[in-house]
Amino acid sequence: MIEIDGGDGGGGVLRTALGLSIGTGRAVRIGDVRGDRPDPGLKPQHVACIEAACAVSDGDATGVEIGSDTVAFEPGPVDGGDVDVDVGTAGSATLVCSTVLPAALVADGVVRLRVSGGTDVAWSPPADYFGGVTLGALRASGLATSLEITRRGFYPAGGGTILLTAAPSTLEPIALHERFPPSRVRVAAAASDDLLDANVADRLARTAGDRLSNAGLAVASRSAEYVEARSTGAVVVIRVEVDRRSGTPVPIAGFSALGEPGVPAEDVANAAVDDLRAWRDGSGAVDRHLADQLVPILALVGGRIRIPTVTDHVESAVAVARRFGFDVAVEASESDGSTIVSADEPSTRLRR
């Protein structure tokens, strides 16, 4: 059993360890879970991640309760089928889905994971980001997966639902190390229907689209929708696509902002655009949040990604991958200040 120190890195250490355990078939024990947080131990969202990992891989786990600081997980076969997991709070549904993405690499059948919780909440990728950017970037390497948003869930009530469908996949090494200029951007805004009279979603999409156009970026689409939700909320997501030498459009970055009480929709949209412009002026080929989401898959299939900065999440994900025996390297570039995260293509690590 692989031993992981979860005292530094938050819930990302747990999620990375669970995903790599599913992909390799190796049991793992994570101790001192979230030990560096003011409220250490498992929260409902983390319990949901373990439940999803067990259900998807027919695995067994101990220590699966709120507040637990030690979790042991042993995966079984990924046969495919339907799985339902309820976070029970506004905890992130997309992070639950990201935990089990490696299952597609070793699955014998299609996995359909339905997660109820928060779809667009703080400290996690919004549903449009996860479905359009994270999964879009991985589809370029061969991951056969899709995401359907069946109901939005905002803080504090949650109550949203997303459906992740992942078919058995054989991936090419991830190749996101070359920096291409953005070919186009897409803007998607959503707001709870009680914000319709204030035109919040329309203002989010219009403000972001106009600013992006004025910055010389081609806005391929902009959408605004109003949805039934248990809590008032709004979100805007900007997806950046590039045309690689193959001619295939690939999402390589995303930028988002959540609505807040008393904050004009225009200010929310401007925050997302400001983040995009700062990334465009930098040296990374992907954005800082996509970087840490890609590390577990990168370890399993190999490849290279150019990231704008080495965040705590990237550091912890790389450290967990190395504990599993993967040779993941982090190399700073002296020429432009970017960093390359790379892994050799494994020949025997996957258990399929």
67 and 128 share a domain?
yes
Give the pLDDT of residue 245. Answer: 66
> Which is it for strands 111-117 and 28-31: parallel, antiparallel or unpaired?
unpaired
Distance of CA 90 to the CA centre of its chain: 16
154 and 53 share a domain?
yes
237 and 251 share a domain?
yes
Give the pLDDT of residue 125. Answer: 98
34 and 141 share a domain?
yes
134 and 275 share a domain?
no
Closest-CA residue to 226 (of 208, 253, 199): 199
Residue 352 resides in a domain: no
**Domain edge (last residue) among 280, 310, 329:** 280
64 and 137 share a domain?
yes
DSSP string, 242-264: EE-TT--EEEEEEEEEE--TT--
What is residue 228's three-state secondary structure? coil
pLDDT, averaged in runs of 10, over the chain (352 residues): 94 98 98 94 97 98 97 98 97 98 97 98 98 97 97 98 98 93 97 98 98 97 98 98 83 98 98 97 94 96 94 95 95 81 77 54
Give the pLDDT of residue 347. Answer: 57
154 and 9 share a domain?
yes
Number of domains in the chain: 2
Residues 338-352 as b or e (16 or more Cβ within 10 Å = b): bbebbbeebeebbee
The sign of the dihedral angle between the CA atoms of 154, 155, 156, 161 is positive
Domain range holding 307?
2-171+286-343
Give the pLDDT of residue 349. Answer: 57
Torsion-angle region of 144 (φ positive above 0: left; ψ -120 to 50: alpha; else: beta): beta
166 and 33 share a domain?
yes
Residue 304 resides in a domain: yes
250 and 230 share a domain?
yes
106 and 202 share a domain?
no
CATH of residue 212's domain is: 3.30.360.20
CATH of residue 94's domain is: 3.65.10.20
- At 28, list the tokens: 């793992």
Q: Which residues pair with 190 in a beta bridge?
A: 225, 235
Q: Which residues are catalytic?
A: 313
17 and 149 share a domain?
yes
- DSSP state for residue 73 in the 8-state scheme: E
Residue 312 resides in a domain: yes
